[in-house]
């Protein structure tokens, strides 16, 4: 039999009678660590034990330390039979070595008994006068990166052992909370003469001089602490409610289409301007549109925001098997090829034509042309060199010349489209984004036109009264400048 006991949060009063009686049973006793306030009391009443403090020097990470302890306890059980393993606090609270030991005992059919104990959480609740029924989330400082922070419950972060860990915890919390958020620094909760509980600002966390293995931090529930994704969902729900905004309640998927497009283009403009604050704002507007559509889907009973998130998450996992399934190194070209192959299987495409048809018709024409050409090029339907692409442009231009004076409007539209499509081919073969190129030219045109207008104004002239030759002269002057 292996008996596991908890030594409580640190005060002698929190040791249970059952634990003391077991420790006095003259069995072999092993403590995970001697660095615990009640250990001095155990020594004073003559209890002898061995500790695993040396394991912390042998290994580079805690997982290996705890596994080594669990394995050694199994070996000790083989030698001595009944043994006792003592850990700080409660054996089931933030005690990885006990979890590993239980798993090993299950594998090897060894009887193990875990006695109830007072945990450090009980001491923190007592000292801070908390009622956990109002919401309390407890996380290990070492696992904080894998946790979802939520202002709607109190947050207790345990095992903030030193300043380095405190810095990591602070940085992770700053991803959610403001730097001047008031938190509680809790050290040695429930231990007389050692307990220290004080309010500090979040940014001050790693500046505390008394951080040690008895340190935790507590962040109270505060609905005004920040704004998060759930707040946005609730705002849109309120706007769509029967007592909400009349305009918002009238919107449908169809009526919102133009706004989604507009917001995306405003993001692009903010990126081009390298304006971080504007990027934040415009991305927020795009996110608002996404959640808005999800809310409409929820009201209609077809889908909600969770379906949207689940769908895109699963898609990203499925389309990155080299990351999430069988890890392997791939360059960007290989990643894109894999992405396309997986996408073809997901969509159930039966032909290469299906992949071309799948390019959205609502894309800007130049962008759609570029994407269609890229997909066709992947199976070898492409010019061998850019020179052939240029010859095609001249050919299409001649065809426009052949028909532009005629009365067949549909034919003129067709030939002009062929000309534009062929220029996109040239841009693609030169690895130039046609949308970028044409927008660059548009901006250049606007700047030169502005020069013409300003020059005319300086000469006391009005553009409306200038001849084309006069404007051409200023245009060429602007080019020279």
Q: Are 261 and 269 in contact (CB under 8 A)?
A: no
Distance CA 247, CA 464 (A): 42
Percent of the chain exceeding pLDDT 90 equals 73
Three-state SS across the chain?
Answer: CEEEEECECCCHHHCCHHHHHHHCCCCEEEECCCCCCCHHHHHHCCCCCEECCCHHHHCCCHHHHHHHHHHHHHHHHHHHCCEEEEECECCCCCCHHHHHHHHHHHHHCCCEEECCCCCHHHHHHHHHCCCHHHCEEEEEHHHHHHCCCCCCCEEEEECCCCHHHHHHHHHHHCCCCCCCCEEEEEECCCCCCCCEEEEEEHHHHHHCCCCCCCEEEEECCCCCCCCCHHHHHHHHHHHHCCCCCHHHHHCCHHHHHHHHHHHHHHHHHHHHCCCHHHHHHHHHHHHHHHHHHHHHHHHHCCCCHHHHHHHHHHHHHHCCHHHHCCCCCCCHHHHHHHHHHHHHHHHCCCCHHHHHHCCCCCCCHHHHHHHHHHHHHCCCCCCCCHHHHHHHHHHHHHHHHHHCCCCCHHHHHHHHHHHHHHHHHHHHHCCCCHHHHHHHHHHHHHHHHHHHHHHHHHCCCCHHHCCHHHHHHHHHHHHHC
Phi, psi of 458 (to 5 degrees): -65, -25
The yes or no reply on domain 229-318 and CATH 3.40.50.10880 is no
> Given this model, what pLDDT does residue 347 score?
86
Distance CA 442, CA 386 (A): 24
- For the record, the structure tokens of 192 come out as 């007389």
> Given this model, what pLDDT does residue 462 score?
83
The yes or no reply on domain 121-219 and CATH 3.40.50.880 is no
Radius of gyration over every alpha carbon of the chain, rounded to an integer in angstroms: 35
> Given this model, what pLDDT does residue 307 score?
96
What is the pairing mode between strands 2-6 and 112-114? Answer: parallel
> Given this model, what pLDDT does residue 328 score?
83
> Given this model, what pLDDT does residue 470 score?
86
The neighbour count for residue 346, using CB atoms within 10 Å, is 11
> Given this model, what pLDDT does residue 317 score?
93
The average confidence (pLDDT) of the chain is 92
Distance CA 311, CA 318 (A): 11
> Given this model, what pLDDT does residue 276 score?
96
Q: What is the mean pLDDT of residues 275-288?
A: 96
Per-residue pLDDT of 52-110, as tens digits, reads: 999 999 998 888 999 999 999 999 999 999 999 999 999 999 899 999 999 999 999 99
Percent of the chain exceeding pLDDT 70 equals 100
- pLDDT-derived band at 144, boundaries 50, 70, 90: very high
Distance CA 418, CA 438 (A): 17
> Given this model, what pLDDT does residue 330 score?
83
> Given this model, what pLDDT does residue 213 score?
86
Strand partners, 84: 3, 29
Entry pTM: 0.72
Per-residue pLDDT of 158-214, as tens digits, reads: 989 899 999 999 999 999 999 999 999 999 998 888 899 999 999 999 999 999 988
Per-residue pLDDT of 339-374, as tens digits, reads: 888 888 888 888 888 888 888 888 889 999 999 999
CATH numeric code, 2-117: 3.40.1010.10
Residue 215 has pLDDT above 80, yes or no: yes
Tokens 């039999």 identify what position? 1
Per-residue pLDDT of 217-239, as tens digits, reads: 999 999 999 999 999 999 999 99
> Given this model, what pLDDT does residue 236 score?
96
Per-residue pLDDT of 8-39, as tens digits, reads: 998 898 999 999 999 998 789 999 999 888 99
């Amino acid at each position: 039999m292996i008996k596991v006991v908890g030594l409580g949060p640190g005060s002698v009063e929190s040791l249970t009678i059952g634990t003391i009686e077991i420790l006095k049973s003259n069995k072999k006793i092993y403590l995970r660590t001697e660095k615990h306030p009640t250990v001095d009391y155990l020594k004073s009443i003559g209890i002898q034990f061995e500790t695993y403090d040396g394991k912390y020097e042998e290994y580079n990470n805690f997982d290996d330390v705890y596994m080594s302890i669990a394995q050694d306890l199994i070996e000790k059980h083989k030698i001595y039979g009944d043994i006792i393993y003592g850990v700080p606090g409660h054996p089931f609270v933030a005690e990885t070595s006990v979890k590993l030991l239980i798993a090993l005992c299950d594998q090897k059919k060894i009887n193990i008994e875990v006695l109830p104990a007072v945990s450090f959480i009980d001491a923190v609740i007592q000292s801070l006068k908390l009622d956990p029924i109002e919401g309390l989330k407890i996380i290990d400082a070492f696992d904080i990166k894998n946790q979802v922070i939520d202002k709607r419950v109190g947050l207790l972060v345990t095992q903030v052992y030193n300043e380095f860990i405190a810095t990591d915890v602070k940085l992770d919390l700053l991803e959610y909370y403001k730097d001047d958020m008031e938190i509680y620094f809790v050290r040695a909760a429930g231990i007389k003469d050692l307990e220290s509980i004080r309010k500090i600002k979040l940014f001050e966390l790693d500046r505390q001089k008394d951080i040690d293995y008895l340190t935790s931090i507590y962040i109270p529930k505060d609905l005004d602490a920040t704004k998060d994704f759930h707040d946005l969902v609730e705002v849109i729900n309120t706007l769509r409610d029967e007592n909400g905004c009349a305009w918002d309640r009238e919107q449908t998927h169809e009526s919102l289409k133009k706004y989604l497009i507009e917001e995306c283009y405003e993001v692009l403009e903010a990126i081009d301007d390298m304006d971080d604050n504007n990027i934040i704002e415009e991305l927020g507007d795009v996110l608002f549109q996404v959640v808005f559509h999800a809310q409409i889907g929820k009201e209609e009973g077809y889908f909600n925001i969770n379906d949207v998130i689940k769908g895109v998450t699963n898609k990203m996992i499925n389309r990155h098997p080299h990351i999430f399934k069988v890890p392997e190194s791939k360059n960007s070209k290989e990643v894109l090829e894999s992405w396309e192959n997986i996408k073809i299987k997901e969509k159930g495409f039966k032909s290469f034509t299906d992949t071309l048809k799948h390019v959205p018709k609502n894309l800007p024409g130049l962008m759609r042309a570029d994407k269609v050409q890229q997909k066709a090029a992947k199976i070898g339907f492409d010019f061998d060199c850019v020179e052939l692409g240029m010859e095609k442009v001249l050919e299409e231009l001649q065809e426009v010349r052949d028909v532009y004076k005629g009365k067949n409007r549909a034919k003129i539209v067709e030939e002009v489209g062929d000309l534009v499509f062929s220029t996109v081919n040239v841009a693609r073969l030169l690895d130039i984004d046609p949308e970028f190129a044409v927008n660059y030219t548009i901006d250049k045109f606007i700047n030169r036109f502005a020069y013409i207008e300003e020059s005319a104004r300086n000469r006391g002239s009005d553009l409306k009264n200038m001849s084309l030759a006069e404007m051409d002269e200023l245009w060429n002057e602007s080019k020279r400048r």
